[in-house]
C-alpha cells in the first residue's frame, strides 16, 4: 500500500533578528499510510509544532525550510505554488491548532466559521453550504448541533471550541489531519472524549492522522505508531504498542517515567515525587557535536560526545538513534 504522505530529510531553521539561523528540524523523515494514526511525541522545543506547520508551509516569517521533501499524492508540497497549496490546505490536508480561543474568530458564530471553510473550497450554493455545515455539526455534536452552530466561541466550553476546530478540519473531507496538541488545555475527561471523536472520524472517513502531543499516555490504544522527537531529530520510531510498552532510547524512557499515570499507582492517595529529566532542552543548550541528548543522558558513553548516532533498525518497524544498539 502506498503512503498518503511521505516526509524526506525535512530540515527547518528559524532566523533571528541578527540573521543567525537556528535549526528546528534536522533531517526528519517518515511516511504516513492511509488511515494510520502516528503519534509525534516530545517536550516543548523538540520541533513538534514546527513539523506540523512545515508540512503545509505555514511557518512564521522567520522560518525557513532549508531542504527536504513532503510528497502528497505524487506532489512535493515544498515546491507547490501558492494557488496549489490553497487547494490542498483544508480540502486534502487539514491542520488543527492547539489553542481554539486563538484559532477561532471571536465575533463569528461557530457555524459560520465552518461554512467559510466549505465556501473556500467549493461553490455549491447557500442552501447546500448550510446543509453540509449542519451535517458536520451533527457529526461532532450529535445532541446539541444547532445550539453550538449558533453560538460564539466565548459561549462554548474549551472542549466544545476544540470540536469546532475539528469540524473545520473535516468539513471538506480531507485524507490527512494534523492535530497539534489538540487536548493540551483540556481536563483529562475531555481529553478522552476527544480521542474517542478522532477514533470515530477515522473509522467513518478513513482519515490518516498525525497526532502531536507531549503526553505518551494519550497515545496508548490510540496511535498505530509513535515517533519521538528530540532536538529536532527522530530518536525513536516504531509501533505504538512496542514503543509505549518497551521504549529503547534513553530519552523516551525518561520521558515516560515523568508521566504521573505511568509512574504512580492510580487511586493510591499517596503523593509521590516524579522523576525529571535533568538539564535543559533549549536549542541553545544542545551540544555542537555528538548526540543531542548526551548532556542529559544517564546512560551516556564517551562515543556520545564524539559523533551523532544514526538510526538503527531494532526490527523491521522499530528504529532508535542510540549507540547502545549499534553493532
Q: Where are the domains of the chain?
A: 5-92+174-264+273-325
What does the pLDDT read at residue 262? 41
Which pLDDT value is given to residue 271? 67
What whole-number distance in Å separates Cα of residue 127 and Cα of residue 140?
20
Rounded to an integer, what distance in angstroms lies between the CA atom of residue 71 and that of residue 315? 25
85-102: burial string, b at 16+ Cβ within 10 Å, e else:
eeebbbbbbbbbbbbbee
C-alpha–C-alpha distance, residues 107 and 113, integer Å:
10
What kind of architecture, by CATH, is found in domain 5-92+174-264+273-325?
Answer: 3-Layer(aba) Sandwich (3.40)
How far apart CA 83 and CA 18 sit, in angstroms, is 32
Q: Is 38 helix (H, G, I), strand (E, B) or coil?
A: strand
Instruction: Enumerate residue ranges in the chain where pLDDT < 50.
Output: 262-266
Model pLDDT, residue 327: 75
The set of long-range contacts for 121-129, using a CB threshold of 8 Å and a minimum separation of 24, is 121/87, 121/90, 121/91, 121/172, 122/172
Q: What are the cell numbers at 211?
A: 497526532
Report the pLDDT value the prediction gives residue 289, as an integer from 0 to 100.
86
Q: Could you tell me if 225 and 240 are in contact, meaning their C-beta atoms sit under 8 angstroms apart?
A: yes
Distance CA(94)–CA(72), nearest Å, equals: 13
Q: Are 208 and 176 in contact (CB under 8 A)?
A: yes
Q: What pLDDT does 126 receive?
A: 86
- Rounded to whole angstroms, how far apart are CA atoms 20 and 14? 8
Amino acid at each position: 500500500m502506498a503512503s498518503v504522505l511521505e516526509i524526506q530529510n525535512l530540515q527547518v531553521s528559524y532566523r533571528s533578528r541578527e540573521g543567525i539561523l537556528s535549526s528546528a528540524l534536522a533531517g526528519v523523515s517518515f511516511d504516513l499510510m492511509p488511515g494510520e494514526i502516528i503519534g509525534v511525541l516530545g517536550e516543548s522545543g523538540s520541533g513538534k509544532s514546527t513539523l506540523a506547520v512545515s508540512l503545509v508551509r505555514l511557518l512564521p516569517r522567520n522560518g525557513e525550510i532549508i531542504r527536504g521533501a513532503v510528497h502528497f499524492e505524487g506532489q512535493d508540497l515544498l515546491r507547490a505554488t501558492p494557488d496549489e497549496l490553497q487547494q490542498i490546505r483544508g480540502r486534502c490536508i487539514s491542520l488543527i491548532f492547539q489553542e481554539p480561543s486563538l484559532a477561532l474568530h471571536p465575533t463569528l458564530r461557530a457555524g459560520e466559521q465552518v461554512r467559510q471553510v466549505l465556501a473556500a473550497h467549493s461553490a455549491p450554493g447557500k442552501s447546500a453550504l448550510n446543509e453540509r455545515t449542519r451535517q458536520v455539526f451533527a457529526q461532532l455534536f450529535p445532541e446539541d448541533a444547532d445550539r453550538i452552530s449558533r453560538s460564539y466561541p466565548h459561549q462554548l466550553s474549551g472542549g466544545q471550541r476544540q470540536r469546532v476546530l475539528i469540524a473545520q478540519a473535516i468539513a471538506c473531507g480531507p485524507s490527512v489531519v494534523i492535530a497539534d496538541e489538540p487536548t493540551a488545555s483540556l481536563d483529562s475527561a475531555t481529553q478522552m472524549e476527544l480521542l474517542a471523536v478522532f477514533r470515530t472520524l477515522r473509522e467513518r472517513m478513513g482519515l490518516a492522522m498525525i497526532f502531536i502531543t507531549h503526553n505518551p499516555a494519550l497515545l496508548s490504544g490510540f496511535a498505530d505508531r509513535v515517533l519521538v522527537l528530540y532536538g529536532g531529530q527522530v530518536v525513536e520510531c516504531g509501533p505504538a504498542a512496542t514503543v509505549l510498552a518497551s521504549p529503547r532510547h534513553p530519552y523516551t524512557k525518561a520521558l515516560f517515567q515523568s508521566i504521573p499515570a505511568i509512574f504512580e499507582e492510580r487511586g493510591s492517595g499517596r503523593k509521590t515525587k516524579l522523576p525529571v529529566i535533568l538539564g535543559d532542552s533549549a536549542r541553545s543548550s544542545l551540544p555542537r557535536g555528538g548526540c543531542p541528548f548526551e548532556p542529559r543522558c544517564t546512560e551516556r558513553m564517551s562515543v556520545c560526545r564524539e559523533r551523532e548516532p544514526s538510526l538503527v533498525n531494532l526490527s523491521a518497524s522499530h528504529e532508535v538513534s542510540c549507540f547502545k544498539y549499534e553493532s
